[in-house]
Amino acid sequence: MRTSGSSNLLYSLGRKLLGTLGRQTENRSRHFMLAYVILVSEEVHNYMRRLQVGILQKYGADREIQISPHITLKQGFAARDLDPLERYFDKLAAEIEPFEITVRNIGFFDDGVIFMDVAQNRPLDSLRRRVLQDLSSEFGVRPGELEDDRYHFHATLAHGLSPDSFERARQELQGVQVEFRFVCDTLALLYNTGGAWITYKRSAVGAAKPRPARR
């Protein structure tokens, strides 16, 4: 009981502080930057981190390594109030059911992005479309330019490399053959601090949530 009460007090204080800071931030910039994502499994996370550190060591710093490895459902967007979008995140996580995701091989976008390729499937695409529709209808957040039927699911490894470094990395990695399968069981709400993206909140989805013990 003591631990629970202390946690609730800290959470309450944190919310009050966040509200104050949020109002100050809104006065300066008029918005927050948020994103909704799926966190990858421990196995995929560790594989991606090894690749990212290798790219970092060989080709220089890359800001993508600051972000938890993930698969994006809604790309970064501006919002003036965090609380309703956090409540939507909680609702979304509670309502969806776990489903399987396949991550295989390494891909490259021509604008210098290196990524783990994610196989499209109906539950994944349906979830992305639901998030886009909900955010549009409930909060007036429009889909981004690349969030139409052409959207390519992926988990980013690196971006922002120089053209030469990107080409050398492409030659080194394009032949890698790998495949992972895992159950999507954790969503995350990302928050941009102005200098980097952080994982603001994470939640187990639907049936993946721990159940209270029966008495």
For residue 25, the model assigns a pLDDT of 42
Q: Which token pair is 181?
A: 């399968």
For residue 9, the model assigns a pLDDT of 47
Spatial separation of the C-alpha atoms in residues 116 and 176, rounded to whole Å: 10
For residue 63, the model assigns a pLDDT of 61
Q: Is the pLDDT of residue 46 over 80?
A: yes
Q: In the CATH hierarchy, which top-level class contains the domain 31-208?
A: alpha beta
Spatial separation of the C-alpha atoms in residues 81 and 175, rounded to whole Å: 45
Indicate the burial class of 48 (C-beta count within 10 angstroms; 0-12, 13-18, 19 or more).
buried
What are the C-alpha distances in Å from 15 to residues 29, 151, 183, 190?
20, 35, 32, 17
Q: What are the tens digits of pLDDT across the range 107-148? A: 999 888 999 999 999 999 999 999 999 999 999 999 999 999
What average pLDDT score do residues 48-77 get? 88
Q: How confident is the model at residue 208 (pLDDT cuts 50, 70, 90)?
A: low
For residue 60, the model assigns a pLDDT of 77
- Domains in the chain: boundaries: 1-29, 31-208
Q: What are the tens digits of pLDDT across the range 13-42? A: 444 444 443 444 444 446 889 999 999 999
Which residues are CB-contacts of 202 (< 8 A; sequence separation ≥ 6)?
39, 186, 187, 188, 189
3-state secondary structure 52-109: HHHHHHHHCCCHHHHCCCEEEEEEEEEECCHHHHHHHHHHHHHHCCCEEEEEEEEEEE
Mean pLDDT of the chain: 85
Q: What is the dihedral of CA 148, 33, 205, 5, to 10 degrees?
A: -170
